[in-house]
């Protein structure tokens, strides 16, 4: 079954601490993985996708096919990173984007 | 400016009323989607469309219906609103084709059914 799992509903850290939001997936084939973010009172928007191999707002994510993971990382969290983060998957075996349940990141001053 | 629009942004309505949530995009995208999202919670896909005259049901059973008569317009209709329909509804669009493109989301409609 195609599935995206985000095991943490809430992740709380202090400003300056490292952050890792976990994402594991189940998919037969080569997936395309995404991280979407929703800041308070803003639209859901793309943060990054693995094929771009870029760092956005200091966040990076590496696709680990062996562990079927696509964890989102940032070495030093900022208060403005507080938001809801969704991991998502697409691929040739699915005709739609499959979202995880989301992780709320709270960064305290 | 290319964007995706949703109206109304907020709607409070009584049980049994018929409502239509509007979604329009000026991005020239073929694919459009409707999601239901309770605040701070997971997204549930309720309908999607590949293009004009194409509509599909999503993963979440929904009493709503959609239509796609024009590329840029993808309205969602509830024939008889109930309190269980209270939620936020997000519309999204995506460029068509065989590759996997970014979905762009509208600002959402927050629906409250009394």
Give Cβ neighbours of residue B23 (< 8 Å, ≥ 6 apart): B4, B5, B6, B32, B34, B73, B74, B75, B76, B91, B106
Q: pLDDT (tens digit, 9 = 90+) per residue, B60-104?
A: 777 899 999 999 999 999 999 999 999 999 999 998 766 667 899
Running along chain A, 109 residues long, what does each successive block of 10 average in pLDDT? 92 97 92 93 92 86 92 97 95 82 96
**CB A35 within 8 Å of CB A56:** no
> In B, which residues are within 8 Å of A100 by CB distance?
42
- Is A43–B100 a contact, with Cβ atoms under 8 angstroms apart? no
pLDDT at A51: 78
Q: Which of A14, A71, A16 is nearest to A48 (CA)?
A: A71
For chain B, percent of residues with pLDDT exceeding 70: 96
Interface test with B, best of A97, A99, A102, A103 (most B CBs within 10 A): A97
- Is B100–A96 a contact, with Cβ atoms under 8 angstroms apart? no
- Is A101–B45 a contact, with Cβ atoms under 8 angstroms apart? no
Interface size, chain A vs chain B, as Cβ–Cβ contacts under 8 Å? 39
């Amino acid at each position: 079954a195609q599935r995206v799992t985000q095991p943490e509903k809430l992740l709380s850290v202090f400003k300056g601490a490292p952050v890792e939001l976990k994402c594991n997936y189940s998919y037969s084939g080569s997936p395309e993985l995404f991280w979407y973010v929703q800041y308070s009172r803003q639209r859901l928007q793309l943060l990054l996708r693995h094929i771009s191999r870029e760092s956005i707002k200091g966040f990076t994510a590496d696709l680990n096919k062996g562990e079927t993971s696509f964890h989102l990382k940032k070495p030093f969290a900022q208060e403005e990173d507080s938001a809801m983060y969704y991991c998502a998957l697409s691929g040739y075996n699915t005709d739609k984007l499959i979202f995880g349940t989301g992780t709320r990141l709270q960064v305290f001053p | 400016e290319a964007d995706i629009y949703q109206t109304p942004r907020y709607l409070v309505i009584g049980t049994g009323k018929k409502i239509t949530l509007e979604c329009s995009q000026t991005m020239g995208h073929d694919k459009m989607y409707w999601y239901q999202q309770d605040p701070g919670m997971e997204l549930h896909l309720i309908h999607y469309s590949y293009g004009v005259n194409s509509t599909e049901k999503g993963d979440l059973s929904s009493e709503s219906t959609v239509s796609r008569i024009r590329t840029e317009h993808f309205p969602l209709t509830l024939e008889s609103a109930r309190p269980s329909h209270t939620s936020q509804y997000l519309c999204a669009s995506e460029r068509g084709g065989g590759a996997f493109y970014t979905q762009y989301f509208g600002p959402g409609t927050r629906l409250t059914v009394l």
